Structure 1
């Protein structure tokens, strides 16, 4: 709760408000205790010979008591209200450019092709917006350059690998031919996985409302159509996410569960703060001291490079980075009774 209200606007407004109130309280106290003294009482007049007082000079007549609203309280109140309004407006003017910059940075983190920040407002705000827009353009150019490089690398590597596969047919030794074909298939699989991983890193998409429950049920049915033992349970309300990132995250976790355990259960748990997606299997599991290491690129628990036994070690990396792009977290726990449970926590904001 404290972090929610700990803003630049709140700090500026609070400091100015405290200073204004304190200054007025001190001024009021000084005016009350050290203000001008009341006028002296009129002098006494001797009685005349008939025992009656002579007529009093009107200038020396006692002044009537001033009403309560004639004192300094009302002017001070008006002044206090005016200064509070001025402090609020000034603090809002100071915090508005920073809020605009923060919103633009949030949009950029979700979509590199978001609209540039409007260069308006005070000079400092215009300079910050101009610098931010230049940074966005440089990032976009770097991403495009890397995309072109990935396309060139993919083409240059696939061409000699395809020629090698054709030349394998000229080898008479069937055993050697099979071993070399397996090695080439592994190389192609590693190339495809690496390019897919790099593609996931450079992909940006806008958030939109999505029926996560329908997505989970669709992935489960697709796996069942291919003969896999996959079940889905639970309900949830629609969530604002990046659809491709969420699909990639769940898909990689599901593939990992089916590869090692041959079965998987996807559960949904929804509340006001988070949507929790669990991919549960009853396979061999992962030791507690290795659960963070499996998120490193190309890390595999077994020494074999055979894709059939464990892929190339990028699935869990892609899944965690996809979860982070969604603003969530991905963690691993042991399944009760043996196995591995992958837990995706997505915020509802």
Structure 2
């Protein structure tokens, strides 16, 4: 602006000096031309710096978008072209264009355009790779925080294969013909994820199962095998559905606890001399008879073992029907506990019977005012617990 103002002042002065000599007028014209040349030089510098700054802004933004991964070769070209651009821009001087002077404006602008083309190519390659390998890249991001120890080498190998695939796509500038390789990477990621989930959930339970004596408890062991197979299937087909997996894990763990209890009972039975077989019958019959008497004030000791179980089942349901004042949550809990008790009685699982009685005791203690009308239930349960102890 100062140079433009200076030129205007010189031109005005030349027009107003009518009596000035021809020599003076020519000198003024010469000065005016000098100012105009300086104006063009300033504009050239502004133009070059403006274009270069536009590239710099794009470059700085791109540095935060991981182009070195998505378009490694293109990003190297970008870095090289930007450095060359910066050198020419720094040397550019419109007033020094002699044989040994700085680069011309056209040469500088050509280098700026090369840097722009390199950036545009990097953007295009990144977009191409991001879309084509979207699932693979998402899975790598998901798995990476979970990978440690023994799985690290597997993930490293997958990352190397992915990087090679990206490099080849970049070389061709197209994803045509790379579908099979991308599918292979995806399959390897899925297998790695399955192996990780199995190591967290499946393997520890299988190890516990294998420690059990299959010959001692064949039927119970078979149930555990079925639950474990169900867990394996869930991991294979619903790898990321933790809710399903954890529910099945809870079931397997419960089956394992039951198996341990059954094992204990079987070992005890096997340790009994045949002449003392009566101890086995009395142990289970007395447990049921005592529970029925304290809960329902009924003597069922004369019934067969099967009849005792049937009576206990019916009596529990009848007791439940008498407690209609229970809220929905308590009712559901009672139903679950009675089903658990039925199962425990059916399997003659003393440990589960005691656990269920304890749970019923807690429910009775937390019952509503209406439930407290049936306080005899809580009292009877306490008696059972005292008797078992």
TM-score using structure 1 length: 0.30
Question: Which one has a larger percent helix, Structure 1 or Structure 2?
Answer: 2
Higher relative contact order (CA 8 A, sep 6+): 1
Question: Which one has a larger percent strand, Structure 1 or Structure 2?
Answer: 1
Larger radius of gyration: 2
